[in-house]
Chain A
C-alpha cells in the first residue's frame, strides 16, 4: 500500500488510539489525558490538511481491506468526504478544548474522553467511507459510542434518554442493514460512485429500488432527525453540553444527513433518483420537518431543548437541498452541512457557558445576561443571526443558494418554506436576544460560580468565540477560494456534469 493509502487510515487512528489509551488512564491523570486528547486532535487536523492539499492537487487517497466475500472496507478521500472530515477535525479540536474546561473536576472523565474520541473516530469513518458497507460499519459504531456519552451523567433522566436514543437508532440501523443487503443482492456492488451506480439496474427492479430508497432514508433519517423519527433528539439534550454540541453539529445528526447526501448523489445518482420519483417526497418530508421543528422550538422554555428542536429544523435544510435535485440547491444543501455545524456548535457552547457559569438552563432566566457575560452572548448572537439567515453570517449563504436553486428548477414552494422557517427562527431567537441584551439582570443568578473577575473560564469562552468567528467568516468570505461554499460548488459540479 502506498503512502496515499495510509493517510485515510491514519486519520482514523489519530483519534482511535488516543481514545483507547485514555480508557486505560487513571481518573486523576489529568495532564496525560489532556495531552493525549489535544495531540490526537491536532495530529488529525494536520493530516486532514495534508489530505485537503493533496486532493486539491489531484492526488487520490484510498485504502481497501477485504471485509466480506465480494466486499471491502474502503476509505476514500473525495471532495464530499473531505468537506465532512474537515468539519469534524476542526470542530473536534475546538470541542475537546471546551470539554476539558467544562468537565473539570467531574467524575468519570477517562470514560468520557475515551468514548468522546471513539465517537469522533466513527464520525470520521462515516465521512471517509468509500462504499455503503463501510458507511454502515462506522454508522453503527457511532450509535454504540455515543450511547455512553448520552447517559454519561448516570441520572434516571439520562438513562431514559439513552434508552430512547437506542430504540430509535437500533431500529434505524436495522432498516439500513436490510436495505443495504438488498441493494447488494440486486447490484453486486456498494461502491459510492459520483452520479450513482444504479442506472444499469433492470427496469423490473425499479419498484424494489424505491422501497430500498425508503428503507435507507428511514435508516439515515433517524439520525438526521427527520419527522417522525426525530423523537430521540430533544431528549438526548440531557447529555453534557460538549456532547450536545458534538451530537448536533458534527457527529450523529450530521452523519444521518451526510448519509442522505451520499445516498442521493453517490448511490442512486440524483438524476436517476428523480426518474424514480423519490426526490419529490423526500423534499416534502424535509420541508415538513423544517416547519415542524421550528414550530416546536417556539414553545420550549428550556434553552437546550429549544436549540434541539432548532436542529431538527435546520438539519433538514441539507436534505431539502439534496432533494430539490438541482445543482444550485445542491450547493446550498451541501454547504449547510458545514454552516449549520459551525452555528449550532456555537449556540450549544454558549448554552453550556450559561449553565456552568450562572446555572441558567431556561430562557426565562436569561434576562440581562448579556451584561454579565457579554462575549458569550456576542457569540450566541452571531449563531442566532446565522440560524435566522441574516447576512453576513454563514446561514444566509445556505438559504440564498437553496432558494435560488429551488426557483431554478421551478419549485417555488420551497421559497415559501424557507421564508416561513426564517420567520419562525426569528420568532424563537429574537426574544432570547432581546431578553439577554435589553432586560434588566436579576439580583442573583440561579447558581453563580466565580471565575476570578472573568466572565467565565477561558476554555469555555475561547471555543465559543472561535466557532462564532468561523461562522461569520464562512459567510463573509464565502466567495474566497478555500471557503466551504467553493468546496460545495466543486462537489455540485461533479454531480451535475457542470465541468
Chain B
C-alpha cells in the first residue's frame, strides 16, 4: 500500500475513469446514473491520490506507454493543474448528484455520456504538457459542451448552442493555427521544450495573436463574450453550472499556462498585459452593469460570469511587478468562482423547477418555501461579491494587494466598483426573496438532493475563505507562478 499510492499513475486514472464511465453510460443507459455517480466518486478519490503523491514527490510526470516527449504523450501536473483538477472533481460531484435528480428519461440518457466525456476532456486538458494535446482536448471539450447546451432541445437552447458552436469552433481554429505556426517555427509542441526555444520573432507574435484571440473568445472575455449569456442561460441548470464553473475556466487555464511558460518573458513589456487588463476592466464593468439590468435570473447569473472572468484578466498587468500575489489572487478567484457560480446556477435551477419561471420580480416567497436554495444563493453571492469570509474575498484581497503595492489605483477602483455592482445584482434577487406574497399556483416539487447540492457548493465557496494557506501552498508545488506558491 505504501508503494501503491506514491507510484500509481493517478493522472491516467483521471482520464480513463470518466472515459470508461461514459462508455458504460452510453452502452447501457439503464445504469447510467449509478455509473456516473460512481465515476465521479472515483475521480475525486484519484485527485486526492494525486495530491497525496504530489505532496510527497513534487510535480507529477507520466510518459504514456513509456515514450517520452517529444515522441510520446507526456502528462504533467503541478500545483496549478492540481487545483483545477480538484475543483473540477468537486464541482463535478455536486453537479452529478444534482443531475441524478434533475434529469429524467431521455434527457438523462443523453446527459450522462456527454458529461463524462466532457469530464475526461477537462481532466486531460489540465494534465496535458504539449500544445497539440491541449488542442485535441480543447476541441473535445467544446463539442461535448455544445451538445450539452442543446440538450433541452427547445428553440432558445438550439439558438444558444448554435452560437456557442460557432464561437468554439472559431476559437479552437485560431488556436490550432497558432499551434501550427509554433510547430513549424520550432519543431516541437512540447511546452517545456518550446519555452527553451521561443524568441521574440514575428512567428511567435503571430502565434500569440492567434492563440490569444482564440482563447479569449472561448473564455468569453469582453468584448468577445457575446455567445456566453444565451448559451449559459438557455442550457439546463446543471449544464449551465458546468459551463460557467469549469469550461470557461479551462480555456482561461490554457491562456494562463501558455502565458506563464511561453509568452510572458517575451512580451511582458510590450503592452499586451496592459491590453488584457483593459479587456478585464471592460468585462468587470460591462458584465456587472448588464447583470444588474437583467430581469431573468439565469441571464443575470450568466452576465455575472462575464464580469467575474474580467477579474481574472486584471491579474495579467498586475503580475508584471508582483507575480505570485497577483496570480494567486486570480487563481483563488477562479476556484471560488467555480464553486460559487455552480451553486448559483443550481439554485436557479431549483427556483425554476419550483416556480416554473425565473423572472426575478416574481420570485417572492422563495425563502419561505426553499430556504436551503435561498441560503445557497446568498452564500454563493457573498463569495461573488468578495465579502469576507469567503474564497472570493481572499482572491480579491490578493489582487487588491498586488494593485496597491504598485500604485495601480485604476485597477483597484475597478475591483472595488465591481464588488459594489455585484452586491447590487445579488441583492436585487435576495431583496425580492424576503417579501411576502400569496401562493400563486401549485409549485413544482424540488428534491432535497438538488437543494443540498447547491448549498454544499456554496458552503465550499465560503469555506475556501479559511483554507487560503494550505491551498496556496498546494498550488505552489512546482512553482507554476515562478518563485514559490506563497509570499514569504
Contacts and interface: CB of A to CB of B under 8 A. Distances in A.
Interface of A: 23, 65-70, 73, 108, 111, 136-137, 140-141, 143-144, 147-148, 151-152, 154-156, 158-159, 162-163, 166, 170-171, 173-174, 177-178, 181-182, 184-185
Contacts of A68: 394, 397-398, 468-469
B361 to A, nearest CB: 12
Q: Which of B388, B389, B397 has the most CB of A within 10 A?
A: B388
Contact of A181 (B368, B397, B419, B423): B397
B434 A144 contact: no
B382 A144 contact: yes
B431 A69 contact: no
B57 interface: no
Contacts of A70: 487
B466 A182 contact: no
A141 B389 contact: yes
Given A177-B400, A178-B416, A185 B388 contact: no
Interface residues of B, number: 36
Contact of A69 (B404, B420, B486): B486
Contacts of A23: 371, 375
Contact of A166 (B367, B401, B427): B427
A140 B388 contact: yes
A154 B416 contact: no
A151 B431 contact: yes
Given A67-B466, A159-B434, A178 B427 contact: no
Nearest to A137: B388
B389 A170 contact: no
Nearest to B437: A154
Interface of B: 325, 328, 367-368, 371, 375, 378, 382, 385, 387-389, 393-394, 397-398, 400-401, 404-405, 412, 416, 419-420, 423, 427, 431, 434-436, 466, 468-469, 472, 486-487
Contacts, number: 85
16 contacts: A23-B371, A67-B469, A69-B325, A69-B468, A69-B472, A137-B393, A143-B387, A147-B427, A148-B434, A159-B435, A166-B423, A174-B420, A177-B400, A181-B404, A184-B401, A185-B404
Contacts of A143: 387
Given A70-B487, A148-B434, A136 B388 contact: yes
Query: What 8 pairs across the A-B complex have the smallest Cβ distances?
Result: A154-B436, A137-B388, A66-B469, A181-B400, A170-B423, A185-B404, A151-B434, A69-B487
Contacts of B486: 69
A482 to B, nearest CB: 35
Contacts of A136: 388
B327 to A, nearest CB: 12
Contacts of B385: 170
B382 to A, nearest CB: 6
Given A69-B486, A137-B388, A170 B420 contact: yes
B331 to A, nearest CB: 13
Contact of B401 (A140, A152, A159, A185): A185
A163 B378 CA distance: 15
Contact of B405 (A67, A111, A152, A185): A185
Nearest to A169: B423
A23 B360 CA distance: 25
A68 B389 CA distance: 11
Contacts of A137: 388-389, 393
A174 B412 contact: no
Nearest to A162: B431
Q: Which of A66, A144, A166 has the most CB of B within 10 A?
A: A144
A143 B387 CA distance: 10
Contact of B419 (A111, A162, A174): A174
Contacts of A178: 400, 412, 416
